[in-house]
Amino acid sequence: MNIGPQRQHNWDWRAAGNFIGGGSGSGLLLAAAVSAPTGIDIRLAATVALLLVAGGLGLVWFETGRPARFINVFRNRRTSWMTREAFTALALLPLAAATAVTGWLPLLLLTAAPAALFLYTQARILRAARGIPAWRPAEIVPLVVTTGLAEGTGLLLILLSLGESPHPPAAFPGTLALALVLVRWFAWHCYWKGLQRGAPEGTLRALAPVQPLLLTGGTLLPGLLALLLTLEPPAQALLMGLAGAAMTATGWLTKLLIVTRAGFNQGYAIPIAPARGGGRTGPGSRPGWHLPPGGERP
C-alpha cells in the first residue's frame, strides 16, 4: 500500500477536457467580445466557444457515475463551485447559442459576463479541491483564468487567421495576446514557485516540463509573434495562426497535466512518531513530498 501521495484517477482526461473546453470557450467569448470592434466573425467565434464549453461539460457529464441524476448538480449553490459552474453554464450556453445564431454583437457582449463567471468558477473548482496539492493553491485561480483568456485569445487569433482577409486586423489582438501570455507567464511563475515551497514529488515531476514549454512555446514564441503582429507585418495570417496555436496548445497541455498527471493527492503524514511504552517519541514522516529544508507548506 502506498502512503505517499498517489495520482488521483477519479478525474481523468475527460475532466481535464472540461477545463480545457470551458476555459478556452469562455476565454474565446471574452476575447471576441473585447476584440469585436476589430470586426471578427462573431457567429464563428460564438459557435466555436459554444462547442468547446458544451463539449467540456458533456465530457464531464459522462464521467459522473449517475449521469441521469445530473439535475442534482444544482442543489448546492451556497458552497459548491461546481453548482455555480452549472448555473453559470445555464446562462452561458443559451446566450452563446443565441450569439452563434444571430451574430449580434450586443448579445456577444452580454454573453461575455457569464463567460467570465464560468471561467472563474472553473478556477475555483480546482482551488476548492483541497485534497489535491496541485489544484488547491490560491495561485491556481489566476493561472486558470489567465490561461483560459490566453487560450481564448489564441483561438481568436487562429479564427482570424483562417478568415477571408489576408490581412486581418492584428494590432489589437496582437497586443491582447502579448499582454495575456505575459500575464499568464507571471501567473504560472507564481503558481510554480508556490509549489516549490511544498508539493508532492510526483506533482513537481509531472509539471517540470511545463516550465520550459510554457516559457518558450507558450510565452516567448507567441509573445514575439504577437509583438510582430502589432507591427502589422506581411504574412500576418500565418503569424497569427502560429501565435494562436502556440498560446492555445500550451495552455491546454498545461491544464491537462495539472488535472491528470500532476493530480497527486495529499498522501498521509504524521508529524511525530509515538512513544511506545517507556520509549520516546520519534520523528514524523511525510513520504512522497518535496519540502524545502526546514519549511513546510500545506
Partner 1 sequence: MTDAPPTGANRIPTYCYQCVAGPDLLKVRVEDGVATEVQPNFDARDQAPSGGKVCVKAFGLIQKLYNPHRITTPMKRTNPRKGRDQDPGFVPIDWDEALDIIAGKIRQIHAEEPLDGSGYPRIAASFGGGGTPTYYMGTLPAFLGAIAPIDFGFGSGQGVKCYHSEHLYGEFWHRAFTVAPDTPECDYVLSFGFNVEASGGVCGVKRHADARDRGIRRVQIEPHLSITAACSAEWVPIRPKTDAAFLFALIHVLLHEQRQRLDLEFLKTRTGAPYLVAPNGFYLRDPETEKPLLFDLKRKRAVPFDTPDIDPALEGSFDLDGLEIGADDDRWLHRGARVTTAFGKLLDHMKPFTPLWAGRYCDVHHKIIRRIALEFLDHARVGETVEIEGRTLPYRPVAIVLGKTVNNGWGGYQCCWARTLMACLVGALEVPGGTLGTTVRLNRPATDRNLSVRPSPDGFIDYPMNPTDRDNWLAEPDVRNANRTLVPLVANSPWSQALGPTHLAWMQQQQGPEHWPQATPPDLWFVYRTNPAISFWDTNGIVDTIARFPFTVCFAYTRDETNHMADLLLPERTDLEGLQLIRIGGTKFIEQFWHYQGFALRQPVVEPEGDTRDFTWIATELARRCGVLEKYNRAINRGAAGVPLRGEHYDFSLATDRVHDVETIWDACCRAASAELTDGQEQQGLDYYREKGFRLSPFPRLKWYLTATMEDLGLRYELPYQERLFRIGTELGRRLHERGISWWDEQLEEYNPLPAMEDLPGIWEGALERNFHIDIDDYPFWLVTSRSMQYAWGGNVSIQLIREVAGNIRGHGGLVINAGKARELGLKDGDRVEIRSPLSATRGYVVTREGIRPDTLLLMGQFDHWATPLAKEFGMPSMNALTPMLLDLTDASGSGADLARVQITRLEETP
Partner 2 sequence: MLVDLNRCVGCQTCTAACKQTNATAPGVQWRRVLDMESGSYPEVRRTFVPVGCMHCEDPPCADVCPTLATQQRDDGIVTIDYDLCIGCAYCIVACPYQARSRVDYPNQAYPGRPRMKHEQRTEHFERRRVAQKCTFCVDRIDYGLANGLTPGVDPDATPGCVNACIADALVFGDLEQADGRVAELLASHHHFRMHEELDTGPGLYYLTGPRS
Give contact residues for partner 1 (rule: CB under 8 A). Answer: 1, 275-280
Identity of the residue, 279 or 295, whose beta carbon is nearer to partner 1 in the bound complex: 279
Those residues whose C-beta lies under 8 Å from the C-beta of residue 250, and which sit 6 or more positions away, are 213, 214, 217, 218
Least CB distance to partner 1 at residue 284 (A)? 14
Identity of the residue, 13 or 268, whose beta carbon is nearer to partner 1 in the bound complex: 268
The C-alpha cell at 106 is 450586443
Q: How far apart are CA 128 and CA 126, in angstroms?
A: 5
Distant-in-sequence contacts of 61-65, Cβ < 8 A, 24+ apart: 62/14, 63/11, 63/12, 63/14, 63/15
What's the Cα-to-Cα distance from 81 to each of 86, 128, 254, rounded to whole Å?
8, 8, 22
Least CB distance to partner 2 at residue 13 (A)? 14
Q: How far apart are CA 246 and CA 250, in angstroms?
A: 6
Q: Which does 64 bind (CB under 5 to 8 A by kind): partner 2, partner 1, none?
A: partner 2
Query: Rule CB under 8 A: which residues touch partner 2?
Result: 1, 3, 6, 8, 10-11, 60, 63-67, 69-70, 72-76, 79-83, 86, 125, 128-132, 135, 263, 265-277, 281-285, 287, 296, 298
Identity of the residue, 79 or 294, whose beta carbon is nearer to partner 2 in the bound complex: 79
Q: Which residue has the cell 514529488?
A: 201
Least CB distance to partner 1 at residue 14 (A)? 24
How many CB atoms are located within 10 Å of the residue 293 CB? Answer: 4
Three-state DSSP state, 175: helix
Q: Which does 231 bind (CB under 5 to 8 A by kind): partner 2, partner 1, none?
A: none
Q: How far apart are CA 243 and CA 245, in angstroms?
A: 6
Q: Which does 263 bind (CB under 5 to 8 A by kind): partner 1, partner 2, none?
A: partner 2
Least CB distance to partner 1 at residue 3 (A)? 9
Least CB distance to partner 2 at residue 141 (A)? 15
Identity of the residue, 101 or 273, whose beta carbon is nearer to partner 1 in the bound complex: 273
Identity of the residue, 84 or 184, whose beta carbon is nearer to partner 2 in the bound complex: 84
Q: Which does 86 bind (CB under 5 to 8 A by kind): partner 1, partner 2, none?
A: partner 2
Identity of the residue, 62 or 231, whose beta carbon is nearer to partner 2 in the bound complex: 62
Q: How far apart are CA 59 and CA 14, in angstroms?
A: 5
Q: How far apart are CA 35 and CA 153, in angstroms?
A: 9
Least CB distance to partner 2 at residue 134 (A)? 10
